[in-house]
């Protein structure tokens, strides 16, 4: 329910505002969350009787805010419940504002996507972001086909993920599946698995994973390579990385706390920079992300990525590969960032792997997945090779 409210926050607020005389901004955050949950149950779920949704909202308001708030909650939610479903539509606004309100995304971001993708693709992207993404698992031992067979033998229905990048299961809790405790799989969207495939590091290369936590790509790399050095600046995130490696890693990984602006390694032949980014390609899995993004954050991240890329360039041995990746859809973080890097570092060139799906390559040779087109998270990667 919490995830559903996050995905539908804007249309819920627009609906509630019709019944709050002093405006939605006059409602305290705890009470607003209670009203949103009540309205979500009333308008977007069919398994909760209206009287139960109202009663629950009133009880929560009384407990968490106070007696006076319970009467206000009762009045607002009863009016929401009485409103005909068709009466929630708004057709008197332009395409961008209508899409932003309907699918609960920031107007400035929808305007960017509208200009970049056009109306049909933007609408499809917003629908995807408000959908419930599938649980996709990646094998730590053997192949994807081996993991599919393992689940079938244990009575777990499954289907191949797009591009053969993982196994889709209907279970929502991976820790309830056979093989979880023994580390036979880890959770990872196909787009992120494709990034590792796109990097195409040499099998005998020592890999430096510069921004590794929580460890999904590290696990994928250890499945393919003998030695990975996984680093992250955040001690808290390193805790999650170590937990994931302890359960599903090969126990040959090196883990260290390190600042990727000053990578503590000698030049290597394989360097993965999964850079901090706006995360606009992963809103389906992280619906709270859309509430935090803004243009100022985008500009700060672009500047930070530039510093990280320049620091990485110094740690690539001749003939080595730097794979720069984001989970963003924004050109400034992706193709524009790489173009600027290549201007600053003319000894690097793009070199995509020969056997990668052509439909996922841009004209320049970078990897780009689009949720509305590929049915996976949005992700970008550039494979940059230093001259030998």
Q: Which residues are catalytic?
A: 327
DSSP state letter for 163: G
C-alpha distance from residue 285 to each of 3, 260, 371, 377, 382 (Å): 9, 26, 11, 8, 23
DSSP 135: E
User: In angstroms, rounded to a whole number, what is the distance separating the alpha carbons of residues 337 and 9?
Assistant: 32
Closest to 305 measured CA to CA, from 283, 331, 269: 331
3-state secondary structure of 256: strand
Q: Which residues are CB-contacts of 201 (< 8 A; sequence separation ≥ 6)? A: 207, 221, 224, 225, 269, 270, 272, 321, 323
Q: What is the rounded distance in angstroms from the CA atom of residue 3 to the CA atom of residue 7?
A: 6
- How far is residue 71 CA from its own chain's centroid? 39
Query: Cα separations (Å) of 313 from 25, 218, 318, 384, 388?
Result: 48, 20, 10, 10, 14
């Amino acid at each position: 329910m919490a995830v559903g409210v996050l995905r539908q926050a804007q249309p819920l607020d627009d609906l509630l505002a019709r019944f709050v005389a002093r405006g939605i901004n006059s409602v305290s955050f705890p009470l607003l969350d209670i009203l949103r949950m009540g309205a979500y149950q009333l308008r977007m779920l069919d398994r909760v009787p209206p009287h139960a949704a109202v009663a629950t909202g009133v009880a929560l308001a009384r407990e968490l805010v106070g007696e006076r708030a319970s009467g206000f909650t009762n009045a607002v939610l009863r009016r929401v419940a009485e409103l005909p479903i068709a009466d929630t539509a708004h057709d008197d606004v332009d395409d961008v504002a209508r899409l932003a309100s309907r699918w609960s995304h920031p107007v400035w971001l929808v305007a960017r996507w509208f200009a970049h993708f056009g109306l049909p693709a933007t609408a499809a992207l917003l629908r995807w972001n408000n959908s419930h993404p599938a649980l996709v698992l990646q094998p730590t031992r053997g192949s994807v086909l081996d993991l599919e067979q393992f689940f079938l033998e244990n009575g777990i229905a499954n289907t191949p993920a797009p591009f053969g990048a993982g196994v889709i299961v209907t279970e929502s809790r991976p820790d309830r599946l056979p093989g979880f405790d023994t580390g036979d799989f880890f959770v990872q969207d196909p787009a992120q698995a494709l990034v590792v495939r796109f990097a195409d590091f040499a099998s005998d290369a020592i890999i430096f994973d510069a921004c590794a936590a929580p460890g999904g790509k590290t696990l994928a790399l250890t499945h393919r390579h003998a030695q990975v050095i996984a680093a992250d600046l955040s001690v808290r995130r390193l805790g999650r990385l170590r937990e994931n490696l302890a359960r599903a890693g090969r126990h040959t990984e090196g883990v260290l706390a390190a600042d990727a602006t000053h990578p503590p390694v000698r030049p290597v032949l394989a360097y993965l920079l999964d850079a901090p980014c706006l995360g606009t390609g992963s809103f389906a899995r992280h619906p709270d992300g859309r509430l935090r993004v803004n243009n100022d954050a985008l500009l700060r991240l672009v500047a930070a990525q530039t510093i990280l890329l320049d620091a990485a360039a110094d740690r690539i041995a001749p003939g080595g590969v730097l794979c720069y990746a984001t989970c963003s859809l924004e050109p400034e973080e992706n193709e524009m960032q790489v173009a600027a890097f290549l201007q600053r570092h003319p000894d690097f060139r793009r070199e995509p792997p020969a056997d990668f799906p052509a439909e996922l390559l841009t004209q320049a040779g970078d990897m780009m997945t689009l949720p509305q087109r590929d049915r996976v998270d949005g992700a970008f990667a550039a494979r940059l090779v230093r001259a030998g």
